Structure 1
Amino acid sequence: MITFKSFHCSRGWHLWKHWRAFHSHSNSGTLFCQNRTTDKNTHATRVVDLSYDLYDGSVLGPPLVLLHGLFGSKSNFQTIARALVRKTGRKVLTLDARNHGCSPHDDIMTYPAMSADVCQILHQLQITNCVLIGHSMGGKTAMTVALQEPKLVERLVSVDISPAPTVPQTGFPHYIAAMQKVHFEEKMPRSTARRLADEQLSSTVKEASIRQFLLTNLVQENGTFKWRVNLEVISRHLQDLLDFPEFQEPYPGPVLFLGGANSPYISSENYPEIERLFPFANVEYIFGAGHWVHADKTHDFLNAICNFVESA
C-alpha cells in the first residue's frame, strides 16, 4: 500500500487496489501468463553506445540510473543527480538516449532498441543491478528493461508515465513540425539564434517553458546552428514512442509510479495494466506538479525517490 505523505495524494489508487483484490480473489493465480514474449516492435537493430555521466558515490549498493524523456538529455538531471548522490551516497548514472543529446543517431527509435542500449551500457560499466528511474519516454524505456531483463533492475521508478499507450495529447507532433520549420541563418551569435528560434516556435508552441525546453537542443556545429535531436527519425517513430511493447510476464520487483497531480499521464484507466505488469507497484502523485515532475517540484521529487530507495 501507499505510504501517504503531505506532498502526495493517492488519486484513487488505494481504493482501486481494494476493489481489484475483492473482485479478483476467486481468480487469484490466473492473472498472469507465464511466457515472456517479445513485442510487436521487434527489429534487428544495432545497439548504440550511449553518452553518459557518472556521479561517484561512497555508499555500496545498486547505483541509480536516470533516463530522460523525449527531447530531453542527461543534462536535465545534473542537479537531480548531484542531490541524489548527497542524499543516498550512491553512484548515479545519467544517460542520453539514442537520437538525443550526445548519443549517436540511428534510424530505429523503439523501446526494445533503447532498452538494448541501456543494457549494453550497464554491462560495459559492470553494473549488474540498479535502481532504474525514467521520466516519460525514459519511463517506458525503463519499464521495458525491467520486463525484459528483470535481474538487472532491483527497483523501478516510472515518472509520470504508465505502460498503457499514451494518447497523443502531448502536442509532440506539433512540436516536431515547428522545430523542423525553424530556419537558421549562418554565422550569428548564439543568443540571436535562440531568440530567432524562439520567435519561430512561438506561433505553434505557445508555452514559453516548453519552448525553452525544446531550445536546450539547439547546438552550433561548424558555425551553423541545428537541432541535436534526430527529428526525422523521432517523427517517423512517434507512434512507437506513444505505444508500449506487449508483454505477458510481469516484473517481480518493487515499482513506484510517481505522477504529477496536474498531469493526465497516469490515470485510473491505467491502473489495471499497471497491476498486470507490475504487481508490486505503488502509485503516488505530487501536488502542484505537471508532467515534468522533477522540475516542477524538485524537493518533493527527491524525497519520494529517496524514500522509495531507502525502503529496501
Structure 2
Amino acid sequence: RGDRPPLVLLHGLFGNHGNFQAVARALVRRGSGKVLTLDARNHGGSPQSPLMTYEAMSLDVQHLLTHLGITKCILLGHSMGGKTAMTLALQRPDLVERLISVDISPIPTAALSEFSAYISAMKSLKIPDGLPRSAARQLADDQLRPVVQLPQLRQFLLTNLVEVEGRYTWRVNLEAISHHLADIMNFPTFHKPYPGPALFLGGSNSPYISSKHYPEIQRLFPKAEVQYIKGAGHIVHQDKFEEFITAVFNFLPPP
C-alpha cells in the first residue's frame, strides 16, 4: 500500500537479510506498509567487493532505491546496518523520511580486537569435503569454540557457512571485512546534521548506546529520541521481539 514510505531494514556485521524476515512479516501484519530486507555487500547473496566502507554501503542502498523508483524511505539498521543507515541519512537526508538506529551510536565502536579474533578463527576453519551438513556445522562449532565462547554468537556466525559443490566455505567476504574492520568499527565524520526524526533503540543490557554518546547523537541527529528495551542485549530484535516490533511500529509516521 502506498500510504507510508517503504521501510528498509539493514542487518549487522556477519548477518544477512534473513535476520529481519520475522521482523518484516510482523511489521507488515501490523500495517506498516511495504518492507524491504537486503543483504549488505560482501554478505548473503550480494556481490563481493574489496571495498567495505560506510560510504560504499550507503551508495549501494541509494542505487537500490533508485533502481526500485523509491524517492523516500524509512531506514532501520542494526549495528553495522545502523551505521550505514546513519551515513545515508546524513549524506542524503532527502531520501530518508525518518531513521531508526538499533543498538548503535554514531561513534567508533571499541570491539576491534574481538572481531579480528573471530575472523582469524573463521579463516582457519578446516572442514573435509563431502561431510554431511550437520557434521560440518558441528565440526565448525567445535573449532570456533575456543575463540567464540558464546554459543549464540557461534550459531550466528555459522549461518554464513555454505556448501558449494561439496566444499564448505564462508558466504561472507572475510578478506574484505578483515581489511576494512577499522572502517566498520569507526564512523565517518559529518558536520551537517540530519534534520528528520530519529530513534536510537538500544538494549538495556548492551553498552552500544550509552549516555556518553548523547552529545554526538544530539549534534548529528537533533530530533533524536533514545529508547531502551529492558532486558535486551545487542541483538534487540531477537532478545525482545514483541517489544521491538511495538517500539518500531510506534515510531512510524501516521499512515
Q: TM-score, normalised by structure 1?
A: 0.80
Partner of 2:200: 257
Q: Which residue, 180, 183, 192 being the options, matches 2:126? A: 183
Deviations 1:64-89 (A, max 9, x none): 10000000000111111111111124
Rounded to whole Å, the distance in 2 between the matches of 1:89 and 1:180 is 40
Q: Give the partner amino acid of 2:106.
A: P
Letter in 1 for 2:43: H
The answer for unaligned runs of 5 or more in structure 2 is none
- 1:231 Cα deviation from its structure 2 partner: 0.6
Residues 59, 89 of structure 1: 8 Å contact kept? no
SS at match of 2:77: strand
Deviations 1:271-293 (A, max 9, x none): 11000000000000000100000
Q: Name the amino acid aligned to 1:256.
A: L
1:114 aligns with 2:52: no
**Does the 8 Å CA contact 2:90/2:193 hold for their aligned counterparts?**
yes
Give the secondary structure class of the aligned counterpart of 1:65: strand
Matched, 1:288 2:223: no
Compute the displacement of 1:173 (Å).
1.6
Following the alignment from structure 2 to structure 1, what is the Cα–Cα distance between the partners of residues 208 and 19?
20
Shift of 1:185: 0.6
Contact 2:9 2:37 (8 Å CA) reproduced: yes
TM normalised by structure 2 equals 0.98
Q: Which moved more, 1:286-295 or 1:164-173?
A: 164-173
Structure 2 partner of 1:195 = 138
Q: How much has 1:156 moved relative to structure 2?
A: 0.1
- C-alpha distance in structure 1 between counterparts of 2:113 and 2:233, whole Å: 12
Match of 2:30 in 1: 87
Larger radius of gyration: 1
Map 1:127-276; keep pairs closer than 5 Å.
127-168=70-111, 171-276=114-219
Which residue pairs with 1:49 in the alignment?
none
Where does structure 1 differ by over 3 angstroms across 4 or more consecutive aligned residues?
none
Alignment check: 8 A CA contact 1:260 1:293 kept: yes
Equivalent pairs, count = 255
SS at 1:262 equivalent: coil
Distance 1:274 1:222 in 2: 47
User: Does the CA contact (< 8 Å) of 1:256 and 1:281 recur in 2?
Assistant: yes
Is the CA contact 2:79–2:104 (under 8 Å) kept in the aligned structure 1?
yes
Of 73, 77, 83, the residue aligned with 2:16 is 73
The DSSP-based 3-state class of the residue aligned with 2:231 is: coil
**In the TM superposition, what is the alpha-carbon distance from 1:117 to its structure 2 partner?**
0.2
The alpha carbon displacement at 1:168 in A equals 1.8
